[in-house]
Structure 1
């Protein structure tokens, strides 16, 4: 039930990362205090998730999250950016050793300056100087994640991850409220600009006394176009230990997102058996329950292998009994037809909101579900 619990928490708090589970193996939020009695930890309900910091009875929110060059029209970019950044952090900072804290070192004001163009009035801008119609904005968004360790009765800053979201398409207007034009950016251009900015960001962070000698991970993310039905992907990251002030070593990430069914003329994954499995599932579901507006899936691949799937089903159900029957049918049909050995989430919704949710973890055979009552 842990994936179901996490979904409900995220749904209720607008994608806030939180670990919700049974209290049997959880640490009480007051069981670990820092040197100040006003600093506490949330406790850890599952080893897949970090404990987080609470100060003065409040969860510390990020100072830079949500700061963009402009409003990102593709909300999936925002979600996959944050979730993917956390997965990269887990490779370097163990959930059993480190405590997670939302970014506290890059302020909103600083993030806005870094995301801007470099000008006389904004010398800190990471995007290149030039006219909007000729020189693209590369850096679209950024996020900071902090990681602390227990040091006696206190917590100390011990690691940081910075994510840089780079545009794949630059959208611009020649005049205010005029037509929107676009400039496609090549992969070589995206990588070169991202790596250049990463070294500059690292050098700036090292000027802070608290960040001089801690490992800093910098990850590069390729934004999906505004009209994409999936979010973008991280394509490289660098672990910078000690007091290094420039990035020298990069590790590539081969990740791709696809939408099932694959649209005509669009490229699908090399292994089409996954798409066929989904197609069989979709056929079974639509034949049994005709009152469906759509059945789609977002599938993520790492190094060519399917690593996860999010299925979205839009219904026209109004009866609670219909929702219950449909959810129960999905539980058995999904187990039979969808790929095994990967985490899968299925969201059933309508114009009125989410009606039910099903989930299966990597090593599980059966789906668990929750039905949202209409009262």
Structure 2
């Protein structure tokens, strides 16, 4: 019996449905502890119930740009920012808080805290290093004192105080910590040293306590609840990001960290040896999917999948399929084929997203949210 699939192809409506309605907005005044308050507008509607509303007049982070100079894997940058916001939802509910980029840790502050500790950089958190011969430095000196801390990310969470005023009622701090320490003793001579997870955790918790005490000295943040999360970076060449490994919540006014909560998250690349050994079921499904795509479209380059796991359970699978098409009908036919493969091969207890791309642009997007039976399809014009 032949199977027919009805593909809901979305064009303008998909975009229009996500456009904020500025006819119904709320004007707020942000308390900045200065002589003049700042006014901002908050849309009455949100693009998703799971996301934070943000003031229309977007304020860049006080340390804007530091992250791209300190974290060298672009996937790490994205996950550090988005993952910290995701974990913040556990303590700062999006129904009750607005999101704002961090406004208190400035560029100068962050850079000074990331320095190696020395007489010149007394606030530096990374370990001091003893180089006896500057012209011929000993690699062991670097191995004994790796730069553990790459970046300090701040996020602010706002609430209404009185009338239409809002103030910072929550802060999240993400500490990016290296899993591999890269250093040079001379031009062209690069070393790579793995940093054990437990060693990284120990240092990260030590830095977190120091940073908390420094933040509490800031008048605006002395009584604000603070969440701190530790992020373990991946190596620079990795095609998947690192992951958060621990987090803690500090009550308002407290300058001491109590218990840490372990975070069991991981990003897995398909295909990979790690996927084959640790996630055999999903690895097999991905191999079967790749083989079926190859049979349908022999000249495709390959399939790359990225799975996001929480407590060893797959939460999200994103698949990229680069193919060279010769006409829109080929795109439609392939989208129909991929739609059927999702229905037949992939369980619906996790989100799945397939991006079909030609060398010049994205051609189609096929996605299904966890719990839904049928995917949605968007074919680009």
| TM-score of the pair, normalised by structure 1 | 0.86
* Residue 330 of structure 2, aligned match among 306, 322, 347: 322
Query: Which among 253, 257, 277 is matched to residue 247 of structure 1?
Result: 257
Q: Deviations over 1:9-63 (max 9, x none)?
A: 9xxxxxxxxx97266xx67563343376831114423211111023xxx311222
Partner of 2:41: 40
1:79-98 alignment runs, 5 A limit: 79-98=78-97
CA deviations over 1:96-123 (Å, ceiling 9, x no partner): 0001111111111111111221222221
CA distance in 1, matches of 2:61, 2:275: 37
**Matching residue within 344, 368, 380 for 1:360:** 368
Cα distance change, pair 187–372 in 1 and its aligned pair in 2 (3 A): same
Q: Aligned residue for 1:162? A: 173
Question: Separation in 1 of the partners of 2:356 and 2:152?
Answer: 31
1:179–1:371 Cα change, 3 Å: farther
Query: What is residue 342 of structure 1 aligned with on the other side?
Result: 350
Shift of 1:164: 0.5
Q: 2:147 aligns with which of 134, 137, 158?
A: 137
Contact (CA 8 Å) 2:212, 2:255: kept in 1 or not?
yes
Deviations 1:257-315 (A, max 9, x none): 2111223xx46464421222222222222211112101011111111111111111111
CA distance in 1, matches of 2:358, 2:71: 24
Instruction: Evaluate the alpha carbon distance shift between residue 94 and residue 118 of structure 1 in structure 2; reply closer, same or farther with a 3 A threshold.
Output: same
Deviation track 1:327-370 (CA, whole Å, cap 9, x = no partner) reads 23222212221232111121222332322222222232222222
C-alpha distance in structure 2 between counterparts of 1:332 and 1:364, whole Å:
15
CA distance, structure 1, for counterparts of residue 53 and residue 193 of structure 2: 42
CA contact (8 A) 1:309 1:344 kept: yes
Aligned length: 351
C-alpha deviation, 1:189, in angstroms: 0.8
Counterpart of 2:5 in structure 1 is none
1:51 paired residue among 53, 64, 78: 53
Q: State the 1:142 CA deviation.
A: 2.4
Residue in structure 2 matching 1:219, options 224, 229, 250: 229
Distance change >3 Å, CA 342–CA 286, structure 1 → 2 = same
Shift of 1:159: 0.1
- CA distance in 1 between counterparts of 2:264 and 2:121 reads 35
Query: In the alignment, which residue of structure 1 is the partner of 2:136?
Result: none
Structure 1: gaps (5+ residues):
10-18
Counterpart position of 1:123: 122
User: 1:144, 1:269 → 2: CA distance?
Assistant: 36
Counterparts of 1:71 and 1:321 in 2: how far apart (Å)? 45
1:16 equivalent in structure 2: none
Q: Which residue of 2 aligns with 1:14?
A: none
Q: Which residue of 1 aligns with 2:26?
A: 31
Partner of 2:134: none
The alpha carbon displacement at 1:95 in A equals 0.7
Equivalent residue of 2:157, what SS? strand
Distance 1:243 1:268 in 2: 47
CA distance in 1, matches of 2:362, 2:151: 29
CA distance in 1, matches of 2:74, 2:92: 27
Instruction: Provide the C-alpha distance between the structure 2 equivalents of 1:289 and 1:140, rounded to a whole number of angstroms.
Output: 43
Unaligned runs of at least 5 residues, structure 2: 1-9, 31-36, 132-140
- Closer/same/farther in 2, CA of residues 361 and 41 from structure 1, 3 Å limit: same
Give the Cα separation in 2 of the matches to 1:363 and 1:90. Answer: 22
TM-score by length of 2: 0.85
